[in-house]
Amino acid sequence: MDKLFERHDAYLEEVSMNYIRDIINDIDWNLRLVVIKGPKGVGKSTLMQQYIKKNYDKNDRHVLYCSADTSYFTTHSLIEVAEQFVKIGGRHLFIDEIHKYKGWSREIKEMYDLYKGLRIVVSGSSLIQLNDGQADLSRRAIEYNMPGLSYREYLRMDSDIALEPVSLDTLLENANEYCSYVREKCHPLEHFSDYLQKGYYPFFLEGKSVYYSRLEGVINYTIDVELTKYRNLEVGNTRSVKALLQVISQMTPYEVDIAKLSRATAISRPSTLKYLRNLEEGCLVRRLFTDLATVSDLQKPDKLYLDNTNLLYALSKDKPEIGTVRETFFANQLASAGCRLEYAGYKSGDFKINGSIIVEVGGPDKGFSQVAGQDRAYVAADEIESAVFKKIPLWAFGFLY
């Protein structure tokens, strides 16, 4: 245990408290078992360390942070650590990179059942499942999904511009008032392009010159390691899946041609549909359907995007088409804020949100012809600062979380 506490102290000594993401307040850290999931690079480890540093004294040994991918766990088990920790009065155990520990769900279940007074927080890949065939944690664990940064969070982290988030309903009903509030503190369009290109992952703080190299590492790790391990992707097919991502980065969202994708990547149609689902689970793409309630397991999506605009800029050979960038940003921010997102239909608008709200996304001159006659229909327009009637600045949808 001494070695684990030495590493615990080292981790907390290094973690910065300059900026703490708001999701720290959304998580109920007092639950007996919390699972924090998310793609590589969004800051799960940092969040756990910040919570401990914020809420526990420096030398408090009732709390322990450890990472399951360290050499310590080649000769020690999770259940052994929990047993020793509880014996010395331990009450709050944080285990990072849980997906890298073989058989983790079975041992976490055993720990949960044995040590009633122990609170456990684990973090891991967006691809891990609470019911993985070894143990069913779905009735024991509360799961939180951690996305990358919203535009609002980026402004705070990059430029120290602190702004309160807004709910979707408030934004739609009082858009001009909220936009005025934002404009009192900054020019919202000033930083927008930077965010779209290099702002979704917090590691931009480590240097924007190496940002795309880091992002390429995230992409390769997700496909080469996580998809092969958790979704049984054959190693020999990883290059084809990367090629699939490359092709998607060149597409416009309304051109979902599975046959074309299959030909371009030499992947069969069923495999293409399967890989698209897996890539979405790995937070690399986003599939949109007209009716989520009736979607089958391998159904062709009605629209297809990369997960966020940073991926689009990183993978595109040329400058991405601006319409694709706008729609990718909108889809990402709404989905990350927890909204139910569907395709509204070819003649009905770009997006249907929470079953009833229709939004058309476009440039500053975008009109309402596409959504005319529909209740609760709005336009999200790029390159404008103020809201006019139901025409809301696109950037404002980056303040939902």
Quick: pLDDT tens for 96-150: 999 999 999 999 999 999 999 999 999 999 999 887 767 889 999 999 999 999 9
Q: In which band, very low, low, confident or very high, does the pLDDT at 369 lie, cut at 50, 70 and 90? A: confident
Total residues found in the chain within this entry: 401
Q: How far is CA 20 from CA 25, 34, 153, 361, 375, in A?
A: 10, 19, 10, 31, 39
> What tokens appear for 13 in the block?
């000594």
Which contacts of 364-367 are long-range, i.e. CB under 8 A and separated by 24 or more positions? Answer: 366/391
Residue found by looking up tokens 């706008």 in the block:
326
pLDDT value of residue 253: 78
Strands 33-37 and 142-145 turn out to be: parallel
Q: How many CB atoms lie within 10 A of CB 304?
A: 23
Task: Give the lowest-confidence range in 185-199, 205-219, 289-303, 379-393.
Answer: 289-303
Query: Does residue 348 surpass a pLDDT of 90?
Result: no
Average pLDDT of 58-78? Answer: 96
Q: How far is CA 384 from CA 44, 187, 212, 362, in A?
A: 34, 11, 28, 11
Residue found by looking up tokens 């959304």 in the block:
26
Q: Which of 345, 323, 344, 359 is nearest to 251 (CA)?
A: 323
Helix (H, G, I), strand (E, B) or coil at 203: helix
Measured distance CA(276)–CA(306) in Å, rounded: 10
DSSP-derived secondary structure letter, 226: I
**Model confidence over 187-232: pLDDT tens digits?**
999 999 999 999 999 999 999 999 999 999 999 999 999 999 999 9
pLDDT value of residue 133: 64
DSSP-derived secondary structure letter, 126: T
